[in-house]
Amino acid sequence: MNKNYRLHYFFLFIFSCFIAFGVIHDGFINVLNGLYKIIREPDILITDYFEVGGIGATFVNAGLIGIINTSIFLKLKAKANGAITAAVWTSVGFAMFGKNIVNIWPIMFGVWLYSKYKKESFLNYALIAIFSTNLSPTLIQFRGLDIGFEYFSTILGVLISIGLGFIFPPLAAYCLKFHQGYCLYNTGLTAGFIATILVSNLRAFGAEIPKRLLWFSGRDVGVEFTLLFVFLTMILYSIRLEGKLNVEPIKDLNKTSGKLVTDFTVLYGEAATLLNMGIMGIVYMALILLISNLNGPTIGGLFTIVGFAALGKHLNNTLPVVFGAAISAYLNVHSVTSPQVVLALLFCTTLAPISGEFGALWGMVAGFLHVSMALSVGYLHGGFNLYNNGFAGGLVAMFLIPLIYAFERRTT
């Protein structure tokens, strides 16, 4: 096996396991029916696919999207690295509550068109194409806005989705300057601005953007064991690659700031990266089970953490941010176990580089501020931006980083 692609093939195995689990869990016919419901359902935040199509169909949808995205990189002969891993696993996570095998294509096609417009290889834009699908709800949402007849609304949704994909790459590159790499979900900030402009115009012309909350509150032991199997398999494959359980690189990895772009596969190797991913998966799955349950959105948050455990996140720089977010959740008027707060506790780890660079105290401040911001900015984009916490985290970083620089320079 070509060493450049072995991570790709390993993840293809994991995603195939998702499909197998889904079919075994609900049966082939139920999975097909569930996928049909998922494809036709509006996807704005928060739409838990566990509630829409069932657990089996959700895992099959996630597995298929993982295979599609990984196959794109294999087709482009892109060497597996931390950024690709983060992109693929984030998309697989959001395939649990917002992305599906149909609504991702118009946005990605728009990015592909932009690469042709720039006369550059799509390889240069594949990452942003995968991440840009956080605007996927645009496709189906237009069908429910009563703009003309249904088919016209659907066609309009397709065309606007393509247009959003076309403008996404230059905006994402510019947004990175705003937070200087201290918000890992840069595309969430980008999509937040785009969706805010889109939704503002829709509202100005009389469109009603409905609120949505579909949240599976049950417990499924099969899901818990499947995820535990995935994270343990990552650790075991790490041991196989290294020939032993080697924790020394993890010690060095945990000393990094995690600021974009900190690629752990380049700095410490694939074995250390997989070990970090497995550890982060187990720790944060335990956190979810402590305060909530495993469903589409919480697994989405978990997989995003696991993906970015290859590109900036580790225990040392995420735990202070989560602790600060937990303090905010405990003190504010919202319940700690409410869906929005639970997701904020997971996705606040987008601000991990602040903790890694400036210390745990600033990380706690960032996490504290993030919760309130995440609970407020959803109205601006109307749920069209699946990476709501990336938008919130980017705004927090834009606010906090200049202040940190000012105080740090004052005290040195």
Q: Supply the pLDDT for residue 411.
A: 44
Q: Supply the pLDDT for residue 42.
A: 87
Q: Is residue 247 part of a domain?
A: no
Question: Can you give the pLDDT of all 412 residues of the chain as single tens digits?
Answer: 677 899 999 999 999 999 999 999 999 999 999 999 999 988 899 999 999 999 999 999 999 999 999 999 999 999 999 999 999 999 999 999 999 999 999 999 999 999 999 999 999 999 999 999 999 998 877 665 555 556 777 788 899 999 999 999 999 999 999 999 999 999 999 999 999 999 999 889 887 888 889 999 999 999 999 999 999 999 999 999 999 999 999 999 999 999 999 999 999 999 999 999 999 999 999 999 999 999 999 999 999 999 999 999 999 999 999 999 999 999 998 888 999 999 999 999 999 999 999 999 999 999 999 999 999 999 999 999 999 999 999 999 999 999 999 987 544 4
Q: Is residue 304 part of a domain?
A: no
Distance CA 350, CA 366 (A): 10
Q: Is residue 345 part of a domain?
A: no
Count up the domains in the chain and report the number: 1
3-state secondary structure of 217: coil
Q: Looking at the chain, how many residues does it have?
A: 412
Q: Is residue 52 part of a domain?
A: yes
pLDDT tens per residue across span 233-286? 999 999 999 999 999 999 999 999 999 999 999 999 999 999 999 999 999 999
pTM confidence score: 0.95
The tally of CA atoms less than 13 A away on the side-chain side of residue 95 is 31
Who's near 15: CB < 8 A, 6+ residues apart?
62, 63, 64, 66, 67, 70, 92
Q: Is residue 130 part of a domain?
A: yes
Which of left, alpha, beta for 76 (phi over 0: left; psi -120 to 50: alpha)?
alpha
Q: Is residue 200 part of a domain?
A: yes
Q: Supply the pLDDT for residue 382.
A: 92
pLDDT tens per residue across span 92-120? 999 999 999 999 999 999 999 999 999 99
Distance CA 11, CA 73 (A): 12
Q: Is residue 173 part of a domain?
A: yes
Nearest to 381 by CA among 207, 245, 191, 233: 191
Range(s) of the domain holding residue 73: 6-204
Distance CA 196, CA 100 (A): 22
Count of H helices and E strands in the chain?
20, 0
Helix spans in 255-314 (H): 264-291, 296-308
Residues 302, 288: contact at Cβ < 8 Å? Answer: yes
Q: Is residue 169 part of a domain?
A: yes
